Structure 1
Amino acid sequence: MDGAGQKRRPLMVMASSSSTLLAARVGANPLAELTHRVKSLEAGMRMRAWLAKQPTHVEAAVATALGAVQGGALGGLMGTLAPDGGSALPMPQPPPGLDPKAMASFKQAQALAGGPLVQARNFAVMTGTNAGIACVMKRIRGVEDVQGSMAAAFGSGALFSLVSGMGTPNPAVNAITTGIAFAVFQGGFFMIGQKFSQPKGEDKDTYYSRGRSMLQKLGLQNYEKNFKKGLLTDSTLPLLTDSALRDVKIPPGPRLLILDHIQRDPELTRAS
């Protein structure tokens, strides 16, 4: 009996400890997850607000670095999942006397069939360049539009062509044609996405253009509908107060960012 009791005791302890851990995990996870999400959101808002106050080259450098990191991770993952992406064997050299069209096809296959490091480099260059140019264009033009998107796509496509070595024997010509192709595709996708995301009749709404641009700079574009519900048009921006923003149900953090931005921007402090 004693031996049986001694054998059962560890099982009871293990069951008790595992049930306690499970109960603690189930009880703590929702609160911990919510706290983590709130902190992440606040950190992202503070980061966007800090970048909006920095010079253009600082924001562009940060945007380029973040875009390159994301693109590098995506490219490395794609290179790993590709059928021959993990191969350590180098690509064979093209045979001499190959005609230009066949050479272009070979170089394109060579660029797209690289291993994880090659794909990570190519995608890092492409996405980093796109993010940096888009940031600069947004600062210069004051709005994120199709022209800025196409300019960013052209630069990323041209640099991707040069770095990857794909295309015709003339790198400059291929960089231009690749950049144009990237610009056309991204411009088309931008216009399609804008058309589907914009409510009907929104394209003729010009009373909230400055407010919309301000919210986009601060990363608070989700509160544009609050401005419209409260009829906070561009002409009311210099008159905004904390109570007015509270009345349209904008939280305290975004309210502080909006009021601080209006005070610092001389264009917004003037009456329209």
Structure 2
Amino acid sequence: MEGMGQKRRPLVVMASSSTTAAQSASRGGANPLAELTDRFRSLEVGVREWMAKQPTHIEAAVTTAFGAVQGGALGGLMGTFAPEGGAGLPVPQPPPGLDPKAMATFKQAQALAGGPLVQARNFAVMTGANAGISCVMRRVRGVEDVQGSMAAAFGSGALFSIVSGMGTPNPVVNAITTGMAFAVFQGGFFIVGQKFSKTKTHNEDMNYSRGRNMLNQLGLQNYEKNFKKGLLTDETLPLLNESALRDVNIPPGPRLVILEHIKREPGLTKSN
């Protein structure tokens, strides 16, 4: 009887451990996908912080490489699922004596209908150039605006035209026109996106209007981001104390100035 009990005991332990694991998973334990996503975001933040400390040419090179890899993967995927059958089919050649305008149109269609390797190359050049030029423009001009976006789109469109072989009769002119078309489209998208972003930002900033005005009067406008980071909206102004300001990393001097100003301004202590 004792031997039988000893043989059964490990089985009971194994069953209970597996049951515990199942219960842990069913109760919302560690989610592998969530952990992987968090690690990827942490890695992305770390890479961005590292690149921000590097010289312009280092950041531009890394950004271009990442953009080229992403574009190449997308282009290869598009070429694989293309109805033409991908790289297994030979790329057709233009008939002899074709009109120059018809030849340019044929080359454009040929560039857009290539197999996975052709599409991977074309998209890698396009997205890599766009990312690299955008990075340089942002570093040099200190701002990310529509002009920088259009410049990046022009360069990527021109390089895409040259690499893909579009516009054989006059490749230079075709590269310029393609770059201009890319610039117009991307500039339009940037302006539309910026309008939506401004509307959203305006709605969010309404919650910080009195706090922002207070900081501007005190010459402490640099700490507006601290208020937003700590969600210190206008409704919280009557509740502000030294502890709350310390938690959002505002130094002792500005803390004292802010608290004294709130005491002397009755309007700030009235909630909306």
Structure 1 length normalisation: TM-score? Answer: 0.68
The match for 1:84 is 84
8 A contact 1:126–1:157 mirrored in 2: yes
Question: Does the C-alpha gap of structure 1 residues 29 and 85 become closer, same or farther in structure 2, counting only changes over 3 Å?
Answer: farther
8 A contact 2:130–2:152 mirrored in 1: yes
The match for 2:58 is 58
CA–CA distance in structure 1, aligned partners of residues 27 and 17 of structure 2: 15
Question: Does the C-alpha gap of structure 1 residues 147 and 91 become closer, same or farther in structure 2, counting only changes over 3 Å?
Answer: same
Percent identical across equivalent pairs?
Answer: 64
Unaligned runs of 5+ in 1: 1-14, 203-222, 250-254, 260-272
CA–CA distance in structure 1, aligned partners of residues 206 and 39 of structure 2: 24
Which secondary structure does the structure 1 equivalent of 2:176 belong to?
Answer: helix
8 A contact 1:68–1:125 mirrored in 2: yes
CA–CA distance in structure 1, aligned partners of residues 62 and 206 of structure 2: 29
1:236 aligns with 2:220: yes
The match for 2:72 is 72
Following TM superposition, by how much is the alpha carbon of 1:92 offset from its aligned partner in structure 2, in angstroms?
A: 2.2
Following TM superposition, by how much is the alpha carbon of 1:51 offset from its aligned partner in structure 2, in angstroms?
A: 1.2
Which secondary structure does the structure 2 equivalent of 1:199 belong to?
Answer: helix
CA–CA distance in structure 2, aligned partners of residues 62 and 92 of structure 1: 36
The match for 1:214 is none
Question: Does the C-alpha gap of structure 1 residues 244 and 201 become closer, same or farther in structure 2, counting only changes over 3 Å?
Answer: closer
The match for 2:116 is 116
CA–CA distance in structure 1, aligned partners of residues 73 and 163 of structure 2: 17
**Rg comparison, structure with higher value:** 2
8 A contact 2:87–2:117 mirrored in 1: no
More deviation, 22-31/95-104: 22-31
More deviation, 28-37/101-110: 28-37
The match for 1:41 is 41
CA–CA distance in structure 2, aligned partners of residues 127 and 86 of structure 1: 21
Question: Does the C-alpha gap of structure 1 residues 246 and 96 become closer, same or farther in structure 2, counting only changes over 3 Å?
Answer: closer
CA–CA distance in structure 1, aligned partners of residues 170 and 209 of structure 2: 53
CA–CA distance in structure 2, aligned partners of residues 191 and 241 of structure 1: 26
Matched length: 222
1:98 aligns with 2:98: yes
More deviation, 227-236/144-153: 227-236
CA–CA distance in structure 2, aligned partners of residues 156 and 245 of structure 1: 37
Higher relative contact order by CA 8 Å / sep ≥ 6: 1 or 2? Answer: 1
CA–CA distance in structure 2, aligned partners of residues 158 and 79 of structure 1: 21
8 A contact 2:154–2:182 mirrored in 1: yes
Which secondary structure does the structure 2 equivalent of 1:79 belong to?
Answer: helix
Letter in 2 for 1:236: L
Question: Does the C-alpha gap of structure 1 residues 242 and 90 become closer, same or farther in structure 2, counting only changes over 3 Å?
Answer: closer
Unaligned runs of 5+ in 2: 1-14, 233-247, 252-272
Structure 2 length normalisation: TM-score? Answer: 0.68
Following TM superposition, by how much is the alpha carbon of 1:59 offset from its aligned partner in structure 2, in angstroms?
A: 0.9
Following TM superposition, by how much is the alpha carbon of 1:140 offset from its aligned partner in structure 2, in angstroms?
A: 1.1
The match for 2:3 is none
CA–CA distance in structure 2, aligned partners of residues 153 and 116 of structure 1: 23
CA–CA distance in structure 2, aligned partners of residues 246 and 201 of structure 1: 14
Question: Does the C-alpha gap of structure 1 residues 20 and 166 become closer, same or farther in structure 2, counting only changes over 3 Å?
Answer: farther
8 A contact 1:227–1:233 mirrored in 2: no
CA–CA distance in structure 2, aligned partners of residues 229 and 91 of structure 1: 65
Question: Does the C-alpha gap of structure 1 residues 144 and 224 become closer, same or farther in structure 2, counting only changes over 3 Å?
Answer: farther
Letter in 1 for 2:156: S
Letter in 2 for 1:95: P
Question: Does the C-alpha gap of structure 1 residues 243 and 90 become closer, same or farther in structure 2, counting only changes over 3 Å?
Answer: closer
CA–CA distance in structure 2, aligned partners of residues 185 and 165 of structure 1: 21
